[in-house]
Chains A and B, each alone.
Chain A
Amino acid sequence: MKLTCDIAIVGAGIVGTACAYYLAQEGLKVIVIERGPVGGGSTGSCMGHIVVLHDSVPHLALTSFGRQLWQQISLGLPEGVEYNQCGTIWLATTQQQIQQLRSQQTYYNQYGIATQLLDQDALCDAEPCLRKGVAGGLYVPDDAVIYPPAAACYLLAMAQSNGAMLLQGCQVMAIGPDGSIRLQGNQIIYAGIIINAAGCWASQLDRQLPIIKRKGHLAVTDRSGAVLRHQVVEVSYLQSVRQDAGASVAFNVQPRKTGQILIGSSRQIGAEGTEVEMPVLAHMLQRAVEWMPILANLKVIRAWAGHRPSTPDHLPMIGPCPGNERVWLATGHEGLGLTTSLATAHLIANMIAGRPCQIDPGPYLPGRLLQGTYA
């Protein structure tokens, strides 16, 4: 039997399922092809922070748009997705960093993003377990956290209710410029448009894609008396995000409904496996303890690592491959794929339909990183 469809999406991570969610709503015939569990790639090992990030204008635009879309659908999310609008607090220690928070606030104001500066006392009230003497913080109340694999499953289920089809346990071996997809076992699917949303593995299907894996560690504590109310991140996290060599860590903690604390995060290039590396884990935990001394005595029940799909300019690739309107990319979201998944899918749905986009898609078009045309 020849299988054909309007849209074939490779990968059922948060990005692929978000694409299916919007495209199926358009009445298009969508097939999602996934070799493993839904949300079992980077999506299954990530932290689930929906956060506005401001290190560049395109990032700010995409993350705030993404967050807005999450907020819009949040009321319909099932309990298992654990959407919790706990907000983010960015922490500053030095006067220079306080200054940084101030300009962050001004910047956010321009984009209509609510913020509140916290002085030392206000910070102490908001997060009593932080070490004393942290100079100040910036509270971003509309940021949220979710449980990512459950979110991916939800988006896919909604797409399925609009007629999308999931081919699970199918590895895509090759995608052709003519819209053909060869599966393991040589079955071929023909699609009007193929969307490569294979995350870190997108480049296995197209070797010219400049995607590398950026490994990250996380650890979760046992339930404890320690209080944490917001996702709390040190402001120098942004430097850590940009660091391109070696392993870097930053303080980044998240409250779980159960009273557990999720501790992040590390960034590393050139680490292929997802095994836990004790030196990196220890370094990350040390950083967390410096900010929240009470953590030293808490117990880690589980640690793991995952990969972020990263591009040379740290921005995702969203849109058609240059020179080939049938193969599209939705990958390279690095550490923000969860936040920006819905925004990515929204852009793609609008571009495919030929409608104007809510934000300028220009900065994310793959052409910026890909020379030549698709073979």
Chain B
Amino acid sequence: MPRLVTVKIDGIEIRVPSGTSVAAALALAGKQITHRSVTGQQRGPFCGIGVCLACRVTINGQPGCRSCKVSCQEGMEVITDG
């Protein structure tokens, strides 16, 4: 069994296997929507490899991080703009 790490997503704690991407943790927490488009549409991860930037969220206070490109670390705080 892989080690579990705890991350906080929009204030709610969730435990995920280490190595899980932040995008995956969001989905596991039931959050498929990462942000709203410029015309207000709901959007979620899309390309899966860090190119489309649709999965941007705020991680540890850093805005605009691609959640598919970051692995969950113990204690990480993630804020979505869905």
Is B a genuine binding partner of A? yes
| Chain A positions near chain B (C-beta within 8 angstroms) | 222-225, 258, 297-299
Judge if B12 is at the interface, Cβ distance under 8 Å. Answer: no
CB closest residue in chain B, given A299:
B64
Complexed CA–CA distance, A223 and B53 (Å): 12
Q: How many A-B residue pairs have CB under 8 A?
A: 15
| Chain B positions near chain A (C-beta within 8 angstroms) | 38, 56, 61-64
The answer to whether A222 touches B38, judged by C-beta atoms less than 8 angstroms apart, is no
CB closest residue in chain A, given B65:
A299
CB closest residue in chain B, given A226:
B63
Residues of B within 8 A of A258 (CB): 38
Complexed CA–CA distance, A328 and B15 (Å): 72
Decide if the interface of chain A is mainly helix, strand, loop or mixed: loop
CB closest residue in chain A, given B35:
A223
B66 to chain A, nearest CB (A): 11
Complexed CA–CA distance, A298 and B61 (Å): 10
CB closest residue in chain A, given B61:
A297
Residues of A within 8 A of B61 (CB): 297
Complexed CA–CA distance, A222 and B64 (Å): 7
Complexed CA–CA distance, A6 and B9 (Å): 67
CB closest residue in chain A, given B38:
A258
Interface core residue of B38, B61, B64 (most chain A CB under 10 Å): B64
B53 to chain A, nearest CB (A): 9
CB closest residue in chain B, given A258:
B38
CB closest residue in chain B, given A259:
B38
Complexed CA–CA distance, A297 and B62 (Å): 7
The answer to whether B38 touches A299, judged by C-beta atoms less than 8 angstroms apart, is no
Residues of A within 8 A of B38 (CB): 223, 258
Residues of A within 8 A of B63 (CB): 222, 224-225, 297-299
Complexed CA–CA distance, A298 and B65 (Å): 11
Complexed CA–CA distance, A297 and B56 (Å): 15
